[in-house]
Amino acid sequence: MSIEHLINGQFQAGGTRQVAVFNPSTGATLCQLTLADSATVQLAIDAATAAFPAWRNTPPAKRTQVLFRFKQLLERNQERIAQLISLEHGKTLEDALGELKRGIENVEYACAAPELLKGEYSRNAGPAIDCWSDFQPLGVVAGITPFNFPAMVPLWMYPLAIACGNCFILKPSERDPSSTLLIAQLFNEAGLPKGVLNVVHGDKEAVDTLIQAPEVRALSFVGSTPVAEYIYAEGTKRGKRVQALGGAKNHAVVMPDADLDNAVNALMGAAFGSCGERCMAISVAVCVGDQVANALVQRLLPQIAALKIGPGTSAGLDMGPLVTAAHQAKVSGYVAAGVAEGAELLADGRGLQVPGHEQGFFLGGCLFDRVTPQMSIYTDEIFGPVLCVMRVDSLEQGIALINAHEYGNGTCIFTRDGESARVFADQIEVGMVGINVALPVPVAYHSFGGWKRSLFGDLHAYGPDGVRFYTRRKAITQRWPKGSSREATQFAFPSL
């Protein structure tokens, strides 16, 4: 079976190159995915360009009627979508359902488009002069999304972009495309006109075509920092609006007064949930004092040993496999590097065998202690089930450590002290901060994004920043002269 592109409401082959889509729990090939060539991507651009005038002029209330039907279809098909996510990505069914529900929240937010797109109006801003602002769509926009959230991250982008009157081209990950494609089909089933949403599968050739096409006015991206920086540089060089979300190295500071049992439970989910393949995963626990570090490690080790690991489509699991054999090897390589660099490996998940799934891409939970800032397991984003413990003497040292890192996506602190929490939230140079919340992912009516090399661009994803990203403000000033009166010529700059 071969997965094709969804262009102008129809499936099209488009392209001669193919890649395999795997079941990471077994290592078996599920299907072949056709990669779009430049001509195929251009077909999608042409379809979106043709659909834009009519969709732009569709009243926002009518656009949101389609979104309401789309939301209902997503809810009716959530089990089917979650199965596809688990089958191709490997994450557990519970995690897949949670991802989808967070995506549906963004559809709900986009349903408020008539309110979100209201401009401001000022009567008599000057003598018989009225002023107002209008928020107008950009035109054709595109999104490039990662493998780790095949449902949620696309739903960060195109529902809001489309609600704002744009037409959208989605280039999802080639590793787990089926759930993304099904969701797009459901949007069309909800009554979305042909060409408003198009899905093309591909690699760098498809991405470069979207970057270079003058018809594409804006690009949204979520993925690694090198690719984010490339897309931002190449896109803005061509006058496009770009929001490119990159990598992360998320720290959790554990204070001496923290509720340690709750902190450990939160860290377990944040570090090992979804096998650590989250840009918001906690990969570093910064313990203030040796006593805190020793107690934390003692509580973590039995919970790591008790992790329930197996094929994601099975019920009652904590972790599934990593997404590909190559990624499994990469994460295992980081574990080996950490040992070579002198960190203490207290829990080693390498060599894990799941009965009946010996060819799956499994890796158990890993825990390092006494990690230092020079080690690659600290400097790099591993994107796997690896938690590093670091030791500092004070909150100030912890803040300085985090602020010195090149990434600034998410962070959190575990404490009972309001002053410590306030100082941390104020001084930390990170875009999303949790206070006793390990995964501070903003809800749909806020916006998601990091600082430093975790985000390239001025606007975060979804929420209010998403509305600003997918629209342009236009200010209109009008005056109607009374009767046949004639006004004198004015050469000075107008003022009240």
Q: List the catalytic residues.
A: 279
Q: DSSP character for 319?
A: B
User: Under a CB-based contact definition with an 8 Å cutoff, are residues 399 and 376 in contact?
Assistant: no
CB 424 within 8 A of CB 437: no
For residue 464, with 0-12 CB atoms within 10 Å meaning exposed, 13-18 middle and 19 or more buried, which class applies?
middle
Strands (E), 319-435: 344-347, 366-369, 386-392, 407-408, 410-414, 432-435
> What percent helix, strand, coil does the chain show, rounded to 5?
40, 25, 35
Tokens at residue 317, please?
């699991």
Single-letter residue type at 379: T
- Distance CA(374)–CA(378), nearest Å, equals 7
Q: How is residue 224 written in tokens?
A: 């690694």
- DSSP bridge partners of 389: 285
Q: Kindly state the tokens that stand for 120.
A: 């401001």
For 277-304, give the DSSP string: --TT-EEEEEEESHHHHHHHHHHHHHHH
* Residues β-bridged to residue 476: 132
Angle formed at CA 178 by CA 177 and CA 179, multiple of 5 degrees: 100
Bridge partners of 414, per DSSP, are 254
For residue 169 the two structure tokens come to 């081209």
